[in-house]
Amino acid sequence: MVALLVGMCPGLDEGLLRSLRAADIRTVEDLVSSDIEDLAQKCSVSYKALFAVRRVLLAQHTAFPVSGADLYEELLSSTAILSTGNPSLDKLLDSGLYTGEITELTGGPGSGKSQVCFGVAVHIAYHLKQSVIYIDTTGGLTAGRLLQMLQTETNNRDEQMEALQRIHTFRLFDVCALLDCLYGLICGRGRGACVGGGSVKALIVDSVSAVIAPLLGGKQNEGMSLMRQVAAALKTMAKDFSVAVLVTNHVTRSGSGEAQPGLGVSWSHVPTTRILLERVESGASGRRSATLIKSSRQACLIKEDFDLQWWSRAEGGRGGGGGGETSGKRKLDETDP
Amino acid sequence: KRAAVSAVRMKRPVSSLSLGSSLKGKLVRAGFQFTTDLQDLNPEHLSAEAGVSQQEALEALQAASSGHGVAPVTALELLQKEEEFRSIVTFCSQLDEALGGGVPVGKVTEICGAPGVGKTQLCLQLAVDVQVPAVFGGLGGQVLFVDTEGGFQVQRLVDLAGAAVRHCSLLAEDEEQRVAMTTFTVETILSNVFLVRCRDYVELLAELHLLADFLSNRPRLRLLVIDSVAFPFLRLHDDLSQRTRLLQGLGLRLIAAATGHNIAVVTTNHMTTRLHSSQAQLAPALGDVWGHAPSIRLLLRWEESRRLASIVKSPGHMDASVQYQITYQGFRDADQSERPPSKRPRSQTDQSASSRKNTGT
C-alpha cells in the first residue's frame, strides 16, 4: 500500500491531493481501484486529468514480466558457487554454496555446525579472497579457532591477518538487533562492510534459531511475524546482492526420537537446501555425518561422513602426528616451538 | 525499469521495526510501507495521517530514523580482544591445558555430572581462582555465586581459599608479587564472593533480569556461577513448552551478559537418562534446547575409582578427557596430591604428557 504524495507524478498537486483525501482516497491502490468518473464528480476535477494521473501511477507501480530466457541469462552471469573447503560437504551441496540461495545446517548441540561455519568463513576469506559477514548469536565465535584454521593453510603471518580482516563479525543476541543489522547491510547505511560493494559473497548467521525460537509459541503472537521478517531480509540479501547465505538451526526431537530441524514448518520453506549434521557414535572425535534433507538439485537423504578436522589438516609434514591423531586442534604443548 | 524495481526493494519495510504490532498495522494501513516514507514527517502530521497518538508517532519516527545496527568487528580485532583476556585456571593443570588456559572469559561453560562427582567443588574452586591477582597470572576479579540447590558451604570455601593463598605465597618471588599477597587473603577472598540464593525458577529469572544493573555497578566482576541451572527447571514438567521458552531466553541472556560485560559464566547441570535406540544412556538434563546455550561443555564422571573430566563440546578445543581429583585443598591434578602443582606450564609438559598417555586419552 503506497501512500499518495505530492509530486509523485505530474498533475498530482496539493489541491488534487486534498480533494482526494477528502474523498477517502489515500493510497495508490485506492485510486487505481476506484471509479474515475465517480471520483471526478466527487472531487470536482476534470476526468481527463484524473485519468492521466491514474495511467502514470499504474505505469510506475506495476511489475513487469521477465522472459525465462532473460532470467536464465541473468542467473548465469550473477550466480557463483562457493566451495566450502571440504570435498564431502561439497559433494552433498552439488559443488558448494550457491549465491542467491539460503543453505541451512541443522544439528544437535556439539554436532559441528559452528565448526563448519568457521571452516567455510576461513576458506572463503583465504582461498577465494572474498569478504564474509559472520553474524553470531550463540556466543561461540572464537577468533582463536579461526586463526588455528588459517595457520594450517599458510605460515605467513601477514596473509593470516589479511584473511582475518576479510571476515566481518557481528554479535547480536536479540531479533530486533538482527533485523537492524540485516537492513543496515541492505540499505548500505551501516558503517563498515556494505553488501552493495560487491566483494561480500557470503553471509553466515549462526544461529538463526537462537534468537527466534524463544519468541514462538505460548501467548506470544509476534514470533511468526518476526520470523518472516528475518526470512524476507535474508532472501533480499541473497537474491538482490548475489550473496550465498548460510544459516544454522537447532533440532527438536519428534515423537519417535527422530531429529527434525527446529523452527517448524513455516521456516522449512525458507532455505533452499538443508543439511542435518550428526555425531558418528563409533568414530574418532572429529567424525560427523551429514545428511541432505532438502534439496532442489539432488536426490534427498544422501549421507556423507566427514571429518571436522578437515579444515585444519596439515599440508604435508608440518609435524602432524602419526597414527590416529591428525593435525588441527592441537594441544598447547605441541605448538610450542 | 529493473533498476527502479530493485531500488524499491532496498528500503526497509515498516513491519520490521521494533514497534508494537497495532501501531505497525495502523502505519501500514495508512500507506506508510517503508521507513523512507516516514522520513520527512513531523509527529503531528504523522499522528493525523495514521490515526495514532502523538506519543506513538514520535516513537515510530525515532525507530525509523535510528537502528542501523552496530558496526562490524573484523575477526582480527576480535582476536586481539580475545588475547587480552585470560582464562580462569582450575588448578588442575591437565584440564587447564585441554581448555587452552582454563575456563574462558566471555563464554558460557557448562559443567555436567551425576550427583556427588564434584560440580559444586569445581565451582567453588573457580570462585577462588578468579580472584588470584594479575601478577600471578589470574584475573583479580569478583564473583557472583547464584545457589539454587543450597550446596554452597562457606567452610569449604574457606579451606579452598586458604590453600590458594598458601600456594601463591610459595610462588611469590619478586616485590610486586609480595605486595599483591598482602591483598590476597582468606578474608578478602570471602568478601569478593557475592552469594545469592534462589529457591525457584522465578527467583532465578528475576535475579538475571537485575544482572545488567549489578554488572554495571561492579566492573571488577569476572565470574558468574549458577549452581545449578537444572534444579529449578526440573520441577517444571507440566508445561514443557513454557520451560523450553524460558530456557532459551535464559540462555540468550547469559550469553549476552558474558560477551557484553566480559565475564565467564559457569553453569552446572544434572544428568538424566535418555533412551536411544532401546539403550539407556546418561545425557545432560534439560534436553537439546538448553544444550545449544553453553559454548563449552565439561562432563565430570566416575570410571571405576578414577574421576574423569571430559570436554564434550567446545568451539576451539578438541574433545579430550583428563583425570582429576578433589583433595582437601580443592580441585587438583590426579597423582599430585602431595606436591603443590606449579603454575609454570613448560615444566609441566613432560609430566602431563606422560600422565596423559597413562590415562589413555
State yes or no: pLDDT of B88 exceeds 60: yes
- Compare all CA atoms of chain B with the CA of A179 and give the residue at the minimum distance: B16
State yes or no: pLDDT of B142 exceeds 80: yes
What pLDDT is attached to residue A312? 66
Least Cα distance to A180 among B13, B27, B29, B8 occurs for: B13
How far is B252 from chain A, CA to nearest CA, in Å? 6
3-state secondary structure of B273: strand
Cα B255-B256-B261 angle, rounded to 5 deg = 110
Least Cα distance to B129 among B118, B114, B141 occurs for: B141
- Compare all CA atoms of chain A with the CA of B38 and give the residue at the minimum distance: A3
How far is B103 from chain A, CA to nearest CA, in Å? 14
* C-beta separation of B286 from B136 below 8 A: no
State yes or no: pLDDT of B342 exceeds 70: no
Tell me whether strands B330-333 and B320-327 are parallel, antiparallel or unpaired. Answer: antiparallel
What pLDDT is attached to residue B177? 80
Q: Which residues of A touch B295 (CB under 8 A)?
A: 138-140
What residues contact residue B325 under an 8 Å CB cut-off, 6+ apart? B307, B332, B333, B334, B337
Indicate yes or no: CB of B248 within 8 angstroms of CB of A210.
yes
State yes or no: pLDDT of B247 exceeds 70: yes
Mean pLDDT of the residues in chain B: 81
What pLDDT is attached to residue B360? 40
What pLDDT is attached to residue A85? 86
3-state secondary structure of B222: strand
Once rounded to an integer, what is the mean pLDDT over residues B213-237?
88
State yes or no: pLDDT of B178 exceeds 70: yes
Least Cα distance to A102 among A212, A237, A245, A294 occurs for: A245
State yes or no: pLDDT of B353 exceeds 50: no
- Quickly tell me which residue has 609480595 as its cell: B178
Chain-centre distance of CA B164, in angstroms? 24
B7 touches chain A (CB under 8 A): no
A207 touches chain B (CB under 8 A): yes
A6 touches chain B (CB under 8 A): no
- Compare all CA atoms of chain B with the CA of A106 and give the residue at the minimum distance: B292
Which among B67, B75, B97 has CB closest to A167? B75
Indicate yes or no: CB of A141 within 8 angstroms of CB of B21.
no
pLDDT tens for chain A, 337 residues long, are 677 777 777 777 788 888 888 887 777 888 888 888 888 888 778 888 888 888 888 888 888 888 999 989 988 888 889 998 888 888 888 889 999 899 999 998 888 899 999 999 999 999 988 889 999 998 888 888 899 889 888 888 888 898 888 899 999 888 888 998 888 888 765 444 555 455 788 999 988 988 888 888 777 778 888 899 999 999 988 988 888 999 999 988 777 777 888 888 889 999 999 999 988 876 667 788 888 988 888 888 888 887 777 776 654 333 333 333 333 343 333 333 4
Least Cα distance to A103 among A270, A318, A313 occurs for: A270
How far is A42 from chain B, CA to nearest CA, in Å? 21
Residues 58-77 of chain A whose Cβ lies under 8 A from any Cβ of chain B: 60, 63-64
Which superfamily, per CATH, for A75-316? Answer: P-loop containing nucleotide triphosphate hydrolases (3.40.50.300)
Give dist(CA B21, CA A222) in Å, integer.
8
Indicate yes or no: CB of A236 within 8 angstroms of CB of B31.
no
Once rounded to an integer, what is the mean pLDDT over residues B332-356?
49
- Compare all CA atoms of chain B with the CA of A333 and give the residue at the minimum distance: B349
Neighbours of A303 (CB within 10 A): 11
Q: Poorest-confidence range of A91-95, A235-239, B217-221, B316-320?
A: B316-320
Strands laid side by side in the B221-227 sheet: B193-197, B142-147, B221-227, B264-269, B108-113, B296-303, B306-313, B320-327, B330-333
Q: Which residues of B touch A138 (CB under 8 A)?
A: 255, 292, 295
Cα B192-B194-B199 angle, rounded to 5 deg = 160
What pLDDT is attached to residue B4? 39
Which among B31, B81, B297 has CB closest to A110? B297
Give dist(CA B265, CA B141) in Å, integer.
13
Cα A192-A193-A196 angle, rounded to 5 deg = 130
Give the domains, in start order, of chain B with CATH numbers. Answer: 18-66 (1.10.150), 78-333 (3.40.50.300)
Q: Which residues of B touch A133 (CB under 8 A)?
A: 72
Candidates A26, A113, A171: best to mutate against B (most CBs of B within 10 A) is A171
Q: Which residues of A touch B287 (CB under 8 A)?
A: 253
Q: For residue A135, what is its C-alpha cell? A: 553474524
Which among B28, B98, B276 has CB closest to A331? B98
